[in-house]
Amino acid sequence: MMRKLVLVLSFCSLILFINGCVDEIKIGIPSNADHLVVDGMITDLPGPYTITLSYSNDYFEPFSPNKDDYNIRDLVQEASVSVIDDQGNEEVFAEISPGVYQSSVDGMRGQIGTSYVLKIELENGKKYESLAEIMPQNVGIKDYAIDYTSKKYLADNLEKTKDGLNISLIPNGFDGTYEFYRWRWEGTYQVETNPELKTKNVEGQQVPDPPPCTLETIPDDVNDVRCKCCICWVTEPSNSSIVSSKTLGDSKTLLHFLENTQGRLTGKYYFYAQQLSITKEAYEFWNIIKQQEDSGSPFSITNTEVPSNIVSIEDKNEKVMGFFSAASVKDIAFFVNKSYLKTDPVPMDVFKNDCRVLKYSTNVKPSFW
């Protein structure tokens, strides 16, 4: 909002002076990347738990140059990863895919009040350790709330309105001492696409090019020919930092603005949310990230260094990124539908391709659907 304010204040937008006020500039910041990044958590939900190891990217380098998506580029393979609790129990994490390490299905399960330390040894012999994380208790979720809202916004200098649903959680009352929480969620909805209408350009002409999955035989019944990529389920994850450190009482914590767009509310929308009780250190980590999400204007908070709880054993000055967390998790799942809307649900644009091409999409029907 503050940036909007400055833009309005600036004299560039005046009709006499049509040049823009915001211009891209090239700046030379010395590269300071390729630090080890640890992304992992142990919870009190049944395992397996996952630890992902990667190297940080240069700021100006896209994570993945070929996709409109952020996939980690430099994953750290062949590391030894284990978690040790304060009883001396050790759980070894095995690499299940490049850079992704997982505990065994019937292995360690996190317990409230127990402290956990992550140990990493890289292929080159470098050793890292997390600070001890003591899993805090979780007050639990009391309820959820869905509120209709509409917002005005500007796009291409025209005022437009978008509407949708504010999805909030209401945690149980905290006891007054400081407790730290983070929330994350996943939302699933069904999409229908039209791969049969897919075309390709042949010598300037658009010719039909339906992918084979448009008409595929069902293995059980050779006569039953169906489209296997017309209906998919898209599961979109939360990609922002939602944290709180106050004594919340019964107040709502807004998790997501579910916009009435692209068919998300034409049918039902499955919302799964986790409330994670985290340590003070984890809160401070996520809170800095939260601040980054609202930065950029001269009047916004200046960005600062992101802390980490991972240290190098040999070189205390080596910068390590990321966080290993121990969190107690309470979760909730519910369906949201168009009945909460005060306007008509907005359908999805016609998409002439395999529905699995969509981001976060699968044609395997989820168990809860």
Partner 1 sequence: MRYTILALILILPLTSVYSQSTNFKVPEHKVGISLTQLITQIEEQEEVKIFYLPEWTDELMVNKSYAGQNVKTALESILIGRNFQIRLIYNYGLVLLRDPKIDEIRADIISQAEDEIPSYNFGDTNNAKWGEEVTLNGTIFSDATSEPLIGATIYANEIDKGVASDANGKYNIRLPVGEHLMTIQGLNYETQTFFVKIYESSKFDITLQENPYTLDEIIVEDNAINESFQNVTSGTTRISLEEIKKAPSMMGEADIIKSVQLLPGVNSVGEASAGFNVRGGTADQNLILLDNGIIFNPNHLFGFFSSFHPDAVKDVTFYKGSIPIQYGGKISSVLDVRQKDGNSKRLKGSGGIGLITSRLMLEGPIVKNKVSFMVAGRSSYSDWLLKRAKDDELRQSSTIFYDFTGKISALVNKKHKLSASIYHSNDKFKLSSDTLYSWQNSSVAINLERTIKEGVYHISSLSAGNYSYTIEDEDPLESFDWKYGVNNFQAKSYFLWRKKNHLLTAGLDLTGYEIKRGVLKPQSAVSTIEEIKLNNERSIITGAFISDEIQLGKLAVIPGIRLSNFALLGPYDQPQYDPNEPVNDYSITGAKSFGENKIAKTYFGLEPRIAAKYNLNLRSSIKASVSRNFQYLHLISNTTAISPIDSWVSSNEYIKPQIGYQYSLGYFYQADKSNISTSVEVFYKNIDNVPEYRNGANLSLKQNIETELVNSEADIRGAEFSLIKEGRLSGQLSYTYSSSRRRTTTPDEALQINNNSFFPSNYDQPHNVKINTNYDISKRFVFSVNFNAATGRPISAPSERFLINNVIVTNYPERNNYRIPTYHRLDMSLLIRTNHKKDKKWEGSWTLTVYNVYGRKNAFSVFFEDGQDGRYRYPKAYKLSILGSVFPSVTYNFIIK
Q: Which two tokens stand for residue 359?
A: 């981001």
CB of 202 vs partner 1, minimal distance in Å: 23
User: Which of 252, 211, 257, 213 lies closest to 236 in space, CA to CA?
Assistant: 257
Residue 357 makes contact with partner 1 by CB under 8 A: no
Q: Which is nearer to partner 1, 26 or 200 (CB)?
A: 26
Residue 175 makes contact with partner 1 by CB under 8 A: no
**Pick from 89, 104, 217, 295: which binds partner 1 (CB under 8 A)?**
295
Distance CA 245, CA 233 (A): 34
CB of 53 vs partner 1, minimal distance in Å: 11
**Pick from 203, 204, 298, 339: which binds partner 1 (CB under 8 A)?**
298
Of 255-294, binders to partner 1 (CB under 8 A) are 280, 284, 287-289, 291-292
Residue 339 makes contact with partner 1 by CB under 8 A: no
Residue 198 makes contact with partner 1 by CB under 8 A: no
Of 307-336, binders to partner 1 (CB under 8 A) are 307, 319, 321-323
Residue 306 makes contact with partner 1 by CB under 8 A: yes
CB of 165 vs partner 1, minimal distance in Å: 12
Distance CA 278, CA 43 (A): 10
Q: Strand, coil or helix: what is 340?
A: helix
**Pick from 42, 43, 51, 72: which binds partner 1 (CB under 8 A)?**
72
User: Which of 188, 194, 208, 211 lies closest to 349 in space, CA to CA?
Assistant: 194
Residue 352 makes contact with partner 1 by CB under 8 A: no
Q: Give the x-and-dash track for 107-146 against partner 1 (CB under 8 A).
A: ----------------------------------------
**Pick from 200, 202, 305, 350: which binds partner 1 (CB under 8 A)?**
305
Report phi then psi at 282, rounded to 5.
Answer: -65, -35
CB of 210 vs partner 1, minimal distance in Å: 23
Q: What is the chain's Cα-based Rg?
A: 24
Report phi then psi at 196, rounded to 5.
Answer: -65, -20
Report phi then psi at 116, rounded to 5.
Answer: -130, 140
CB of 221 vs partner 1, minimal distance in Å: 39
Of 201-240, binders to partner 1 (CB under 8 A) are 237-240
Q: Is 264 exposed, middle or buried (0-12, 13-18, 19+ CB in 10 A)?
A: buried
- Give, in order, the Cα–Cα distances in Å from 308 to each of 35, 37, 133, 285: 12, 9, 12, 7
Residue 350 makes contact with partner 1 by CB under 8 A: no
Q: Which two tokens stand for residue 210?
A: 């339906």
Of 7-46, binders to partner 1 (CB under 8 A) are 7-15, 17-27, 29-33, 35, 37, 39, 41
Helix (H) or strand (E) segment spanning residue 285 = helix 280-292
Residue 367 makes contact with partner 1 by CB under 8 A: no
Distance CA 69, CA 138 (A): 33
